[in-house]
Chains A and B, each alone.
Chain A
């Protein structure tokens, strides 16, 4: 285990549903990330939080809404998603002060939008 947990591991939702993905890191890191991983495509960075403040938003549609209440928890709120949003959503954390900023990934949430 990497010290980063994600729940749920699998989620099926309709386009009108509202759901949330949860990520928790037990590593004492101060930066957390949301990534989208679609088949045969590179990981896409969605959001970055450093010291609980959002520092980057890579033009993600507003139907994805992140929340970082503290340095250990990260949420991704979902509403009115589209079928093309079906993917593996990965959470990661890192320690900003280190030179290498190695990211530790959670196991991901497999999301299917019907």
Chain B
């Protein structure tokens, strides 16, 4: 069964601290993996995308890693800011363009 599981479900950290969000998937055949950021009341916005051959991808303070062998990905946020408070969603797609599998997301709360 194609599934995407994210952990933790929610996370509270202090401003300036680092954190890592996890995504495990069983989707096959794998095409690519995306991390989205969704602010409250807004639609998701793409942060990074990685294909099978990519191990890491950065977007500013966001760094995503991918281990295609263990089917795991992580999103590391460095020097967190209050504006990082949002839900972070992991999405895995198969070869067909309209087959996307979404995780339930991790809700991050950055406190001053």
Contact = CB atoms under 8 A, between A and B. Distances in A.
Interface of A: 2, 4, 31, 33, 40-43, 45, 48, 50, 55-56, 90-92, 94, 96, 99-108, 110
Contacts of A99: 51
Given A104-B46, A108-B41, 10 more contacts: A40-B104, A42-B102, A42-B103, A45-B98, A50-B98, A92-B43, A94-B97, A100-B51, A102-B34, A105-B36
Given A31-B97, A42-B4, A50-B98, A100 B32 contact: yes
Given A41-B104, A42-B103, A105 B98 contact: no
B49 interface: yes
Nearest to B90: A42
Interface in B36-88: 36, 41-46, 49, 51
B109 interface: no
Contacts of B101: 42
From DSSP, what is the main secondary structure of chain B's interface residues?
strand
A6 B75 CA distance: 29
A42 B104 contact: yes
Nearest to A9: B41
B93 interface: yes
Given A55-B98, A96-B97, A102-B34, A43 B89 contact: yes
Contacts, number: 55
Interface of B: 4, 9, 32, 34, 36, 41-46, 49, 51, 89, 93, 97-98, 100-105
Contacts of B43: 2, 4, 90-92, 105-108
Nearest to B39: A107
A106 B103 CA distance: 19
Given A42-B4, A100-B32, A56 B98 contact: yes
A28 B105 CA distance: 29
A101 B97 contact: yes
Contacts of B4: 42
